[in-house]
Amino acid sequence: MSCRAILTGSYEMMKMQNKVDITPYLLISAAAAILFVLTIYPLIYSLALSFHKFSIARPGVAWRFVGVKNYAKVFTDPVFWRIILNTLIFSCSTVGLQFAIGFGLALLFSREVQIRGEGFLRTALILPMMVPPILVGLIWLFMYKKDFGIVNNILWMLNVGPVTWLSKPFIAFLAIIAAETWEWTPFMFLLLLAGLRSLPSDIYESSEVDGASTWQIFRYVTLPLLKPIIAVALIIRFMDAFRIFDMIFQLTGGGPGVATETISLYIYRNGFRYFDMGFAAALSYIALIIIVIFTNVYIKVLRRAT
């Protein structure tokens, strides 16, 4: 091979090496543009809106800068604190119930002994999670009807008088907790069942050989190994329960009074009924800060416990 051919080949190779493939950059730029349009821009827009006075009922009127007045109005509003308390009680109650029931079901289905009709039962348990929340609210609305609802029919067969489930504050709150627990317990069940079935079997065999009881194995083997999955399940469900809207909107609309109103419903009411978009945006960011603080505190406590 001549020197000229070698030099030509080296030159062509250098050209190929110096040639930049722009395909990855095009793909990344498209994803970044979609992310900006769907996430970053709305965040910046709503943050700016929270420092302004603007009514959606008068779109032609320009924004009026009010500084931190919207945030000050939030913290001086007595209804806000009642609604935050409602939201926290609701979130902790539903997540706690869902975890307890879901964990119990997961332990039952994770046993080596096969249950007759296990596949059908597992499918039936998962079905509530597949129903849209607004439809779940409608289903439970009919179930809670005083005259023809199935819940009061069951009580009538037990010789218990009919209950007005959605008219009394405390009972309405319990009714919503029951509906939310029915819908999202399958999520806890699936996540915890997957976690239980992923645990190594040799640890359990070693524990049994060492003479550990069933309770000791559960306490000192299952729970520590399952703790990361439990943490993820609780955080996801708490964040989702904290921003519940559909079901309460369908069942009670936040009533009676503000007995069942949560932060998402309060944001909707101020933004799209009272048309105070700046105040609604400030409420949204305060709700976001509360969720972030709670999640970080929970993670730190969990890390110290481990």
Residue 111: which CATH number? 1.10.3720.10
The rounded mean pLDDT for the chain is 84
More confident residue, 10 or 69: 69
Q: What is the pLDDT of residue 38?
A: 85
Task: Decide if 289 is inside a domain.
Answer: yes
Contact 179, 98 (CB under 8 A): no
Task: Decide if 150 is inside a domain.
Answer: yes
Nearest one of 182, 166, 177 to 252, comparing CA atoms: 166
Report the alpha-carbon distance of residue 6 to residue 143 in Å, rounded: 84
Mean pLDDT confidence for 28-39:
84
What's the pTM value of the predicted model, to 2 decimals?
0.83
Give the pLDDT confidence of 189-205 residue by residue, as tens digits: 999 998 988 888 888 88
Of the candidate ranges 1-5, 49-53, 267-271, 292-296, the one whose mean pLDDT is the lowest: 1-5
Nearest one of 47, 38, 44 to 283, comparing CA atoms: 47
The 8 Å CB, 24+ separation contacts for 154-158 are none
Task: Decide if 31 is inside a domain.
Answer: no
Give residue 57's pLDDT band: very low, low, confident or very high (50, 70, 90). confident
- CA distances to 175, 187, 255 from 168, in Å: 10, 30, 9
Task: Outline where the chain has alpha helix (H).
Answer: 3-18, 23-35, 41-49, 69-75, 78-109, 118-130, 133-143, 150-157, 169-198, 201-209, 214-217, 223-242, 246-251, 263-272, 277-305
Q: What is the pLDDT of residue 161?
A: 76
More confident residue, 18 or 171: 171
61 φ/ψ angles, rounded to the nearest 5 degrees: -85, 130
Task: Decide if 296 is inside a domain.
Answer: yes
The count of other CB atoms within 10 Å of the CB of residue 291 is 17
Burial pattern 278-290, b for ≥16 Cβ within 10 A else e, equals bbbbbbbbbbeee
Nearest one of 246, 298, 100, 243 to 185, comparing CA atoms: 100
Task: Decide if 17 is inside a domain.
Answer: no
Mean pLDDT confidence for 234-241:
89
Give the pLDDT confidence of 250-302 residue by residue, as tens digits: 999 888 888 899 999 999 999 888 888 999 999 999 988 988 888 888 878 77
Q: What is the pLDDT of residue 185?
A: 93
Domain span at 199: 71-305
Task: Decide if 100 is inside a domain.
Answer: yes
Contact 256, 169 (CB under 8 A): yes
Task: Decide if 9 is inside a domain.
Answer: no
Give the pLDDT confidence of 112-149 residue by residue, as tens digits: 656 676 777 888 888 888 888 888 999 999 999 888 88
Give the pLDDT confidence of 152-190 residue by residue, as tens digits: 888 888 888 788 888 888 999 999 999 999 999 999 999
The total domain count for the chain is: 1
What one-character DSSP code corresponds to residue 63? P
Task: Decide if 51 is inside a domain.
Answer: no
